[in-house]
């Protein structure tokens, strides 16, 4: 499979951005999708995932209530809506999935579980 993120940029604290992840090469409607970020000097952090149908999403505590994820199965695209951005949200953002047979119908929360990654899109929150 192939994942390609877009929509990153520089934004002031309190601002908003929407990231998109276009997918191809696998049956998008059968797999959960996640967003993972890596802040400067830190490890990979899973922040949110959404099930294959798009009717259940999960969030890590640091983004809960501020960021949301959604998907459009007709467009094979998953989104990350970043709101009330803070300087600590500055990171490279990746969409990721386990597109192996073991990933069918399963949402993982650990970055090491994913076998398919995009190239990432940079989000910088700064005055």
* Distance between start and end Cα atoms, the chain: 37
Q: Which of 16, 26, 10 has the alpha carbon at shortest distance from 95? A: 26
Summarised one tens digit per residue, pLDDT across range 22-73 is: 999 999 999 999 999 999 999 999 999 999 999 999 999 999 999 999 999 9
Do the strands 91-97 and 33-38 form a parallel or antiparallel pair, or are they unpaired?
antiparallel
Q: Which of 39, 43, 23, 19 has the alpha carbon at shortest distance from 31? A: 23
Average pLDDT, the chain: 96
Summarised one tens digit per residue, pLDDT across range 97-119 is: 999 888 887 888 898 999 999 99
Residue labelled with tokens 């999708």: 33
Summarised one tens digit per residue, pLDDT across range 73-94 is: 999 999 999 999 999 999 999 9
pLDDT at 120 over 80: yes
């Amino acid at each position: 499979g192939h994942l390609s993120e877009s929509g990153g940029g520089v934004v002031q604290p309190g601002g908003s951005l929407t990231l998109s992840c276009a997918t191809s090469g696998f049956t998008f409607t059968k797999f959960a999708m996640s967003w993972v970020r890596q802040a400067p000097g830190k490890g990979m952090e899973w922040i949110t995932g959404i099930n294959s149908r798009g009717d259940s999403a999960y969030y890590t505590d640091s983004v809960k209530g501020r960021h949301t994820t959604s998907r459009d199965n007709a467009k094979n695209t998953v989104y990350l809506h970043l709101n009330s951005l803070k300087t600590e949200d500055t990171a490279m953002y990746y969409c990721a999935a386990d597109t192996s047979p073991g990933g069918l119908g399963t949402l993982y929360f650990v970055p090491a579980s994913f076998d398919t990654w995009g190239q990432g899109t940079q989000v910088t929150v700064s005055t």
